[in-house]
Amino acid sequence: MIRALIFDFDGLIFDSETPDFISWQETYAAHGVELSREVWNAHIGAITFNPYLHLEELLGRPIDRDAVWAKRKARDNELIAAQTIMPGVEAYLAEAQALGLKIAIASSSDHNWVDTHLQRLGLFDQFEHIFCNDDVGGVGKPDPAVYRAAVSALNIAPHEGLALEDSPNGVTAAKGAGLWCTAVPNGMTRDLNFDHADYRLTALTDMPLAQLITEVTNGTN
């Protein structure tokens, strides 16, 4: 029986991934080099990629990281300000509440980032628990630590939780914690490999949550 729904944040609730990639891609281009989608996509949902170091490796020289950060961050903020809640999120939150499910977030980002945007979007109070990388010693996905923390706080068995993820790294983390996991790729991740997910949607608007739970668990819920 599914008793809890656990959301990823970046790329699932709120598309920060596209602005992040665009702002870095423009930064690389301004330095005369290219940030490929292949390099970027390999690290989506994780915290292992250092774009400053990668840029320096491509250039073969150090950069003024403070100056690059300031300019890139200003552009990122401009793009992010235009982003709203991803389609279907609010409907899933409402249905989860109606079904009596516990609701949480498990994110590779830190609380300052996640909490600030949840408050801006009016979603902060919708979640019983919000777990971020700074709750688990800075460890990000694909390590399952943040999901294990959520499972413990929700007081459920792993097989009683369904995770929603937009990245292969996120799916790996959820499955590593023993959860059911549905992949919901976004524009940045839709071409990646999600074979290890239990189910895949093109968007949360594809089907109601109750139907998804039945499909994912093959009726065992």
Give tens-digit pLDDT for 111-121. Answer: 999 999 999 99
CATH code for the domain in which residue 213 is found: 3.40.50.1000
Active-site residue (options: 10, 20, 135, 166): 10
User: Is 8 noted as a catalytic residue in this protein?
Assistant: yes
End-to-end CA, the chain: 4
Q: Tell me, yes or no, whether 99 and 178 share the same domain.
A: yes
Q: Tell me, yes or no, whether 120 and 53 share the same domain.
A: no
* Number of compact structural domains in the chain: 2
Q: How far apart are CA 199 and CA 64, in angstroms?
A: 44
- pLDDT < 70: residue spans in the chain: 219-221
Amino acid letter, 86: M
User: Is 125 noted as a catalytic residue in this protein?
Assistant: no
Q: Which residues contact 10 (CB under 8 A, 6 or more apart)?
A: 16, 17, 45, 107, 108, 109, 166
What are phi and psi for residue 10, nearest 5 degrees? -65, 125
**Per-residue pLDDT, 219:** 55
34, 50, 80: which is the final residue of a domain? 80
Q: Tell me, yes or no, whether 124 and 68 share the same domain.
A: no
Active-site residue (options: 8, 76, 135, 143): 8
Q: How many other C-beta atoms are found inside a 10 Å radius of the C-beta of residue 119? A: 11
Domain that holds residue 74: 17-80
Q: How many other C-beta atoms are found inside a 10 Å radius of the C-beta of residue 19? A: 18
Model confidence, pTM: 0.88
Count how many Cα atoms sit within 13 Å of the Cα of residue 115 in the half-sphere of its side chain.
11
What are phi and psi for residue 165, nearest 5 degrees? -135, 150
**Per-residue pLDDT, 61:** 97
Nearest CA to 221 out of 128, 8, 212 is that of 212
**Strand arrangement of the beta sheet that strand 102-106 belongs to:** 129-131, 102-106, 4-7, 161-165, 180-183, 199-200
Instruction: Evaluate the omega torsion of the peptide bond into residue 142 and state whether it is cis, within 30 degrees of 0.
Output: yes
Amino acid letter, 59: L
Q: Tell me, yes or no, whether 137 and 190 share the same domain.
A: yes
Q: How far apart are CA 92 and CA 204, in angstroms?
A: 8
Q: Tell me, yes or no, whether 206 and 97 share the same domain.
A: yes
